[in-house]
């Protein structure tokens, strides 16, 4: 697990540690000291700790003019034991929302499992989007099914034709534009369409 690092090809375009509006502004990273862990597994030091032992993230890109952020996730999304959604919502998402971000691309290919609790933070996040959306990109099929089985799918959107998308070949803005166009043209996304509760 320590060899899996966040996507790095956009670092010349954006760095959360250099963005004064980012919750990770001023954070320093080591390439050599492996201090973060997911349970008993050491992970790459470039991942950002959000206060939970199971889920780490990296804000890969923020565009405050277009109002979108790309966030890569890593680990086990565990609301049941660690209340990961609370840490994600309170310590990361709220800062982004306050600064005009209302469209979120969550990259989930390195989310290994999902364990549900209640839907309070998801509902709160969804209601604060003000016309925006939360798109789940490249999540594993069993993780998507867990979200669906626990009644959380209607807070997110995903499209079957984009779920194995080679997103690393895109620059951030074209990636966002492709997802936004596909969402606007899709009447019935594979998992669920974004709709008001």
Domain count, the chain: 1
Answer yes or no: is 152 within a domain. Answer: yes
Answer yes or no: is 3 within a domain. Answer: no
**With a threshold of 0.85, does the pTM exceed it?**
yes
Answer yes or no: is 76 within a domain. Answer: yes
Half-sphere exposure of 163 (CA within 13 A, CB side): 15
pLDDT digits (tens, 9 = 90+) for 86-112: 999 999 999 999 999 999 999 999 999
pLDDT digits (tens, 9 = 90+) for 13-41: 999 999 999 999 999 987 777 778 888 88
CATH code, domain carrying 26: 3.30.750.24
Answer yes or no: is 38 within a domain. Answer: yes
Tell me the Ramachandran region of residue 51: left when phi exceeds 0, alpha when psi lies from -120 to 50, beta otherwise.
left
If you search the block for the tokens 């890569």, which residue do you land on? 72
Reported as a pLDDT band with limits 50, 70 and 90, residue 122 is very high
Answer yes or no: is 6 within a domain. Answer: no
Residues in the chain: 197
Answer yes or no: is 92 within a domain. Answer: yes
Answer yes or no: is 194 within a domain. Answer: no
In sequence order, which residues have a C-beta less than 8 Å from that of residue 131 and are 6 or more positions away? 102
Helix (H) or strand (E) holding 34: none
Closest CA to 172 of 6, 9, 4, 3: 9
- Determine contact, residues 53/82, Cβ cutoff 8 Å: yes
- Domain of 161 in residue numbering reads as 16-185
Q: What number of helices (H) and strands (E) belong to the chain?
A: 6, 7
């Amino acid at each position: 697990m320590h060899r899996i690092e966040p996507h790095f090809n956009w670092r010349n375009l954006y760095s959360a540690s250099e963005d004064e509006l980012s919750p990770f502004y001023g954070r320093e990273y080591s390439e050599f000291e492996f201090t973060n862990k997911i349970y008993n597994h050491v992970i790459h030091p470039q991942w950002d700790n959000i206060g939970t032992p199971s889920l780490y993230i990296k804000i890969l890109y923020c565009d405050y003019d277009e109002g979108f952020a790309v966030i890569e996730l890593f680990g086990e999304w565990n609301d049941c034991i660690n209340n990961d959604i609370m840490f994600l919502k309170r310590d990361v998402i709220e800062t982004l929302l306050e600064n005009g971000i209302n469209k979120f691309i969550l990259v989930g290919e390195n989310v290994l499992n999902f364990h549900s609790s209640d839907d309070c933070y998801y509902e709160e996040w969804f209601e604060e989007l003000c016309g925006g959306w939360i798109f789940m990109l490249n999540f594993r099929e069993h993780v998507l099914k867990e979200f669906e089985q626990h009644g959380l799918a209607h807070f997110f959107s995903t499209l079957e034709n984009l779920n194995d998308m080679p997103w690393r070949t895109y620059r951030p803005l074209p990636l966002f534009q492709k997802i936004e166009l596909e969402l606007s043209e899709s009447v019935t996304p594979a998992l669920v369409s974004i709709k008001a509760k």
